[in-house]
Amino acid sequence: MVGVSDRREFRELVSPDRAREVLDSLDVDPDSERVALEAARGRVLAERVDATVDVPGFDRASMDGYAVRARDTFGADEADPVALSLAGAVHAGEKPTASVGSGAAVEVSTGAVMPPGADAVVKVEETTETDDGVAVRTSVAPGDDVMLAGADVAAGARALGPGTRLTAREIGLLSALGVDEVPVRGKPRVGIVSTGDELVRPGGELDSDAGQIYDVNSYTIAAAVAEAGGDPRVYPHVGDDYDEMERLLVRGAEECDLVLSSGSTSASAVDVVYSVIEERGDLRLHGVAVKPGKPMIVGEVGESAYVGLPGYPVSALTIFRAFVAPVVREAAGLPEPETAVVTGRMAVRERYGEGRRRLMPAGLVADGDGDLLVYPVDKGSGATTSLTEADGIVTVPADTDYLAAGESVDVSLFSPEVRPPRVLCVGEDDPLLSRALDRVDRPRFLPVGTREGLRRLREGVPDVAVVAGPETPDGETVDLGGWTREWGLVVPEGNPASIEGVADLVDRDLRLVNRESGSGLRASFDAAVDALADDRDERGHDLTEAIDGYGLAARAYESPARKVAAGEADAGLGLRATATDLGLGFVALGTQTVDVVAAPDRADKEGVADLGRALDECESIAASLDGFEPR
């Protein structure tokens, strides 16, 4: 283990352009391979494929009708048809048993082998059956409605070249050529090692008391590798132990073309990757002047390339997409993906000025005129919800102090399929709202609390705000609907502490889990504390100081109740519906109104109207939630 005295500071931060140069110099090209045709979709040809047979391999009829000698039809028309005798018939997949002589015809179906002697086909609709054969009412030229052997692909011709990505069209051609196995570029094998003693794989037992968290990066980065055309190999996660880290990185280098690790790349006493790479390979760079992603490491271990990604999921995925995915795609022979860049106006002013290029996650929303607004989604690199709440990246140059509200910016979408939400809601989280949003196409909800939701609505970013508690929306909004919900203290089943109200929290040694100050539940609770203070002729501040855990604020409406269920608190601020769902007790303190309001200039948006229609069914939704009533 690296000692405190051996802590590594970042080397000189290199520019993002220099980092790309170093990455491009790494050799991650895999060997080519042969795969069965049915497994070839999406792969890239490694060699030219030539046709070894004619396609079609025979002269065939292109229409249902009659195979004839063209010269026998010369002069035929509607007024003066030519009578031909019928020598037989041939259908697709059959070998002809009749031939076409002078004055004769053979009935054929589409795809049938042309019988000997015939050089044209007369469409069936241009003929009339007769007792003696067929009357031809038009003249044809040699080759009419006949596909000659090799007309599609001739034997010996170049069918597909190296570098061709195989889609359904190319696979169809290869099938026609009789190819059952194709040479393709190999997928670069990419080993993924997540580091940190705190990690637990999803599905494992999580000990939150010990600071354990689920391993996000292994699965996120593996999916991103596959999207870029690589073959991800996820290794067991490793703690901050030099020997184990060395073992896994060396194993990954022996088995893969590229090894990625996440975490353990910053200047810390427990960060050992730096030392492993120096001891067993070549450390090419450590530190890039970009945010997020400053602690990126690039080097080699044995014959394999190595990149150390940041530990936070948003940072890791952002850096992978910006720097590593292009390397994987090139090694797989895949082109750069179709770029999707949209231009919009900054919805709010965003300060910056850290001297590093910033890759800012951004969300999109259309205003009332359909113009695109861009807002920052920056909940910190450790917030995994930023992965789904952002639509793309705004690249902010290093010398930028701020982006002004209304400033035009380009957003590189995470994929060409990304579309802005049809309705963007912010504000108070609520179980009835969640159920209503399930009935709306492509909504997005940001649970920022009542106070912040109203502030953002005033700033002109979201379409809709959800407001709960004593704080009410101003008159410059459009009412979409609402309900009431019963709130109070969630307590253990049976209320073993016999809690009756706020006074018990003030006067007794009881542990509370509160909600954050911007939430409607917290505002109602604070009003109840102030009312008790007035009754006692005391200061509200003195009462809150007496409540153990008053400052322990949970962000989500269910979190306090879950603390109670885990035995970590005597009471939690919450809803009766939550207590019922979790099988806990409940001490009612009152009811509060929840209002869903739209910005006036967004009320006519289709997504807002859809939400309004969903809220019209509020009564049926409320019936499934204890303590909820339609307004």
Is it true that domain 60-147 has CATH number 3.40.50.150? no
Domain spans of the chain? 19-29+188-332, 60-147, 341-420, 446-630
Classify domain 446-630 at the CATH topology level: D-Maltodextrin-Binding Protein; domain 2 (3.40.190)
Nearby residues of 363 by Cβ (< 8 Å), 6 or more positions away: 374, 375, 376, 377, 389, 390, 391, 424, 444
Whether 341-420 and 446-630 share one fold: the answer is no
Could you give the CA distance from residue 164 to residue 170 in angstroms, rounded to a whole number?
A: 9
Q: How confident is the model at residue 380 (pLDDT cuts 50, 70, 90)?
A: low
Contact 90/97 with Cβ under 8 angstroms? yes
Q: What is the mean pLDDT of residues 391-403?
A: 91
User: For residue 490, what are the β-bridge partners?
Assistant: 572, 586
| Range 341-420: architecture per CATH | Beta Barrel (2.40)
Rounded to the nearest 10°, the torsion over CA 167, 172, 174, 175 is 140
Per-residue pLDDT tens over the stretch 320-347: 999 999 999 999 988 887 768 899 999 9
Which one, of 264, 183, 260, lies nearest residue 225 by Cα?
260
Per-residue pLDDT tens over the stretch 470-524: 988 877 899 999 999 999 999 999 999 999 999 999 999 999 999 999 999 999 9
Which one, of 460, 459, 463, lies nearest residue 598 by Cα?
463
Per-residue pLDDT tens over the stretch 56-105: 889 999 999 999 999 999 999 999 999 999 999 999 999 999 999 999 99
What is the model's pLDDT at position 351? 87
Per-residue pLDDT tens over the stretch 60-70: 999 999 999 99
- CATH class for the region spanning 19-29+188-332: alpha beta
